[in-house]
């Protein structure tokens, strides 16, 4: 499957002077597409709009939403990756004037994640790579993902489906390509992302649905020892939903009842219906 648009028109690349290539000056969203529809569309658009505002990239959000809907309809099934860059510019960090953002849409097949990841759970690899703390970029999905690239290069063993990432102070933040939740005495907790990390759209959806079910949920600092003492642990993202975590280093968990409940709660986001 190959499908790519640049600024709403079929294309196969960006200009060589694009600032996304030169500096990682931009944002992206990875969107699950089922039956020609983008799942969690408004959460993706909202996060992109917030990121564009923080980076001072002028975007017509209504135009972008319309373009994304059309692309997903053309794609049918798979993954739509939306990349927004600040556009082309001359050498140097100074912002181009005027700024003409570029919108790149790429279509691909859904990853072939093993069904057993959701059913039986996964083991986490304890990554040495730490996330740098930069509050101005915390939460948004900017193009610079070198920390994740370095972290993912730390393991090749297929026994580990995901890695655990911490910040420079050792606080638990997220997975390499997912967000992380833990359950302690029926309380759902996820890391504060005020210093670093990506505010995932599935993370936001789980928190909203948990609150709607009157399940206690909080964003807070989580130490490594608190993670190891948790009753249940799971990771999530917008492509695969929820994977229970059953192991980290010497710690072993069972797949817990709240994790199973939340898998059921978000199951509609992973089906064609």
Active site residues: 30, 141, 174
Q: Which residue has the tokens 């069904």?
A: 115
Neighbours of 12 (CB within 10 A): 9
Comparing C-alpha atoms, which of 1, 68, 58, 57 is closest to residue 30? 68
């Amino acid at each position: 499957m190959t499908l790519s648009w640049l600024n709403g028109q079929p294309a196969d690349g960006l200009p060589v002077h694009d600032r996304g290539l030169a500096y990682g000056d931009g944002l992206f969203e990875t969107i699950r597409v089922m039956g020609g529809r983008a799942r969690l569309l408004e959460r993706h658009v909202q996060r992109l709009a917030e990121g564009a505002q923080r980076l001072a990239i002028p975007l017509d959000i209504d135009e972008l939403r319309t373009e994304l809907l059309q692309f997903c309809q053309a794609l049918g099934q798979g993954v739509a990756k939306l990349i927004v860059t600040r556009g082309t510019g001359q050498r140097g960090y100074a912002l181009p004037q005027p700024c003409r953002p570029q919108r790149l849409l790429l279509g691909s097949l859904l990853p072939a994640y093993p069904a057993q990841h959701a059913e039986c759970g996964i083991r986490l690899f304890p990554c040495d790579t730490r996330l740098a703390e930069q509050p101005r970029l915390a939460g948004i999905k900017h193009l610079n993902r070198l920390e994740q690239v370095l972290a993912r290069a730390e393991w090749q063993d297929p026994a580990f489906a995901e890695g655990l990432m911490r910040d420079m102070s050792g606080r638990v933040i997220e997975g390499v390509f997912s967000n992380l939740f833990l359950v302690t005495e029926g309380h759902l907790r996820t890391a504060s992302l005020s210093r670093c990390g990506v505010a995932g759209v599935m993370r936001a959806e789980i928190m909203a649905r948990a609150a709607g079910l009157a399940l206690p949920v909080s964003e807070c600092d989580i130490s490594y020892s608190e993670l190891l003492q948790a009753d249940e642990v799971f990771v999530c993202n917008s492509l695969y939903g929820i994977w229970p975590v059953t192991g980290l280093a010497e710690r072993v968990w069972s797949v817990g009842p709240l994790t199973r409940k939340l898998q059921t709660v978000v199951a509609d986001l992973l089906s064609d219906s």
